[in-house]
Chains A and B, each alone.
Chain A
Amino acid sequence: MTSKSVQRLAPWIATVGFVILWWLCVVIFDIKNYILPTPLEAVEAMYKFRYPLFVHGLATLMTTLIGFVIAVGIGMVLGILVGSSRLLYSALYPLLVGFNSVPKAALVPVLVIWFGAGTVPAVITAFMLSFFPVVANVATAFATIEPELLEVMRSLGASRRDMTFKIGIPRSLPFFFASLKIAITLAFVGSVIAEIVAGNSGIGNVMLVASSNFNVPLVFAALIVVGIMGIGMYAIFDFFERRMTSWSIRGGSGMQQMGGG
């Protein structure tokens, strides 16, 4: 087997290995299924509750994506501002770090007081968890532009706008995509937490109801659904990252180092 096909199979092998390990734990330690179900029981629950899981999974996906899109929009603008101005950087960065350190789950009850139970707190929680990596990455990309490049641009009479659109944004794309992959997974965490604390729909709500009925297999089925959605979104961004920032990943088949002057 070539090393390339090994690489392609590796994630599947690791996943199967993990499932086997899970199963062995349940069998060896004789764990009751209302504590930890076997993978098979979780999958059975997925099949049995496929309709509610689909509907609530879709609700969670929508909530997550709305929060995520807002986070990307605001995060990118804030990142550009913070990254291109030293004053804004020193003014806002401590605030952003402080804000990011606040446990968002603790804020959900407050959000419920403000907006009522339902989708809005979940969207806001998804937003709050996912916007920081976008800001931090885009700001880093903008703040680390080579000074000579800025001098070349300034000596041509380039405006702020030119610098942002011709240098800053293309340069920040690899950073931006890296942050999207982190942000989307965090957005799922945020929306599901909010749904558990104060939702009336979504996967989090399914988990809450299931665990209060001691239907632990369904809790795990719901977790698997969230995990699969997370992997799916990650894969989508990974695909776009490869297409749009191939210049930052050297090597590959196009590699051709020229010698001499």
Chain B
Amino acid sequence: MKELVVISGKGGTGKTSITGALATLMPNAILADCDVDAPDLHLLLNPDIQKKETFSGGKVARIDKTKCNECNVCRQVCRFDAITTSFAVEDMSCEGCGVCVWNCPEKAISFENRNSGEWYFSKTRFGEMVHARLFPGEENSGKLVTQVRKAARELGKEKNADYLLVDGPPGVGCPVISSIGGADLLLVVTEPTRSAIHDMQRALDLAKHFNIPATVCINKYDLNKEMTGEIESYCADRNLPVLGKIVFDKEFITAQIQGKAVIELDIPGLKTSFQFLLNKILEILPAEGKEPLDGTRK
């Protein structure tokens, strides 16, 4: 099974809309949404949840007031300012390191599992999907991403899938690193704006850092053709293939409102663009055991 991960650097460039469109066209694929703290792919694919698992990302300290004598040791050892002057733990600041727990002379602090999210096995009209929800404000999104990818890979193996298509998170930090490690190919979705180009470059630098092959898709390319040209020459200089260019079209929003992937609206131009994009992806990433189109084996 080959794994394609869609990332962007900047948020809002169209990762999820493009992943949704590819999901409708990709042959024999498992889907995964790794943007666990702002997951949106399910809004297009309306997954039917088959199985739900809880995610315990880490731990959180709890102070037993009946044992606490306010000696202040916990506040001194905590590097995250998570304990208030009235000796309560602020959940959102607690890093889950446990240093206060074993340093408390009164053994007044316990260490509890933190219920930080859920993850799901689902069926969609375009194949099976693994997705998740990190509870608002929680930590350890990277761990949950790893969990989702692991489950999706196992499911793919079991179902003999040819592809795993992953909707990634924005940025270049912890959840992105967890989303791309060991992937076969990245599709970096950008748009012709100063911000998106800057952030695409950071995403591409990250891909290079971890030695993962990266390709680019320019979304809304017609909004500024000069900057689109800039992206193309940036990529050409670095031998990074631009696999597709998608027009700006309000129908993407119409599709969102209807809970559909844009392909399902049957707009001939868009369908052609996405089919073209998919063909390029399949050329670079042929399914296991199938010959690449140029006759060479990877």
A and B associate in one complex: no
